[in-house]
């Protein structure tokens, strides 16, 4: 069974066998050759076709199933799934890195820092059940001399007590938290908003000007950690997400 009939001169790359099987099938699906609903050859057929063991075929098919490209049904076989779930990998970069990528000097400046017990609104933002101590921060990210983004943040001090000791005068709370608290879950909300007086003032734009607002809530092992709202002037910012339906 391991004669390795090198009759497939085509590939010649350095892919492992199960990767080659996976990508062959994925290409058939993406090229449309195998339409949604089409039944993929049974494991034992692929086993014969690639002259390999079932485990190897299984590895490829399991991954395709996890990627959502195919659906596996016992006794029936594996089928190309109907609608591509349009799941996109959206990477939200560190603002410092974003700014420096523009070739501009980066600076963070704290505007406000208040420690208090969470009110009802703040509990809602954080997803907290009971009141507790929170740290409310407001700061500005600069690109050169111009304000690049306004940050309004709540930190749940019950989850991250050390944050209470930190001043955050020139270090942004984002990177500080990342290095300290591993996150297990997060939620983004992205929307457009007209700048109100406060925001217009901070960002040095006209009141009513359109802004992109990105809100993020983060949990670590079930505990709410932080809620942050970034407000970008519309001209200065675009979120870009590039992605593929599966993960190869």
Partner DNA sequence: ATAGCGATTATGTATATACATATTGAAACG
Partner DNA sequence: CGTTTCAATATGTATATACATAATCGCTAT
- In this structure, are residues 24 and 15 in contact, taking their beta carbons and an 8 Å threshold? no
**Residue 247 binds DNA (CB under 7 A):** no
Local structure of 181: helix, strand or coil: coil
Report the chain's terminal Cα–Cα distance, integer Å: 27
Taking the complex as a whole, how short is the minimal distance between the CB of residue 21 and DNA, in angstroms? 9
Taking CB under 7 A as the binding criterion, the range among 46-54, 138-146, 198-206, 226-234 that sits at the site for DNA is 46-54
Q: Which residues bind a copy of itself (CB under 8 A)?
A: 27, 29-32, 36, 66, 83-93, 178-179, 181-194, 208-213, 220-221, 232, 234, 237-245, 247
Give the nearer residue to DNA in terms of CB position, either 42 or 183.
Answer: 42
Q: Which does 136 bind (CB under 5 to 8 A by kind): a copy of itself, DNA, none?
A: none
CB burial string 153-173: b at 16+ within 10 A, e below: bbbbbbbbeebeebebeeebb
The residue from 10, 31, 32, 73 that contacts DNA (CB under 7 A) is 73
CA atoms of 199 and 232, how far apart (whole Å):
10
Q: How far is the CB of 49 from DNA (least distance, A)?
A: 12
Tokens at 162, concatenated: 């050390």
Please report, as ranges, the residues that interact with DNA according to CB under 7 A. 1-2, 16-19, 40, 42-44, 51-56, 58-59, 61-62, 65, 72-78
């Amino acid at each position: 069974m391991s004669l390795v009939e090198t009759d497939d001169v085509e590939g010649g790359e350095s892919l492992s066998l199960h990767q080659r099987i996976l990508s062959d099938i994925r290409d058939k699906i993406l090229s449309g050759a195998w339409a949604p609903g089409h039944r993929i050859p049974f494991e034992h057929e692929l086993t014969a076709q690639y002259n390999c063991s079932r485990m190897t075929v299984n590895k490829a098919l399991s991954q395709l199933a996890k990627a959502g490209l195919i659906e596996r049904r016992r006794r029936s076989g594996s089928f190309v799934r109907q609608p591509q779930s349009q799941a996109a990998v959206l990477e939200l970069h560190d603002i410092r890195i974003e700014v420096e990528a523009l070739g501009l000097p980066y600076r963070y400046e704290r505007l406000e820092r208040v420690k208090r017990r969470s009110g009802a609104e703040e509990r809602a933002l954080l997803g907290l059940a009971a009141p507790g101590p929170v740290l409310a921060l407001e700061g500005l990210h600069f690109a050169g001399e111009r304000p690049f983004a306004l940050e309004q943040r709540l930190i749940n001090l019950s989850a991250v007590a050390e944050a209470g000791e930190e001043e955050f005068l020139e270090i942004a709370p984002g990177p500080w938290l990342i290095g300290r608290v591993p996150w297990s879950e997060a939620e983004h909300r992205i929307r457009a908003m007209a700048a109100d007086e406060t925001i217009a003032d901070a960002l040095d734009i006209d009141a009513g000007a359109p802004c992109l607002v990105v809100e993020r809530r983060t949990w670590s092992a079930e505990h709410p950690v932080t809620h942050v709202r970034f407000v970008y002037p519309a001209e200065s910012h675009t979120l870009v997400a590039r992605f593929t339906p599966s993960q190869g």
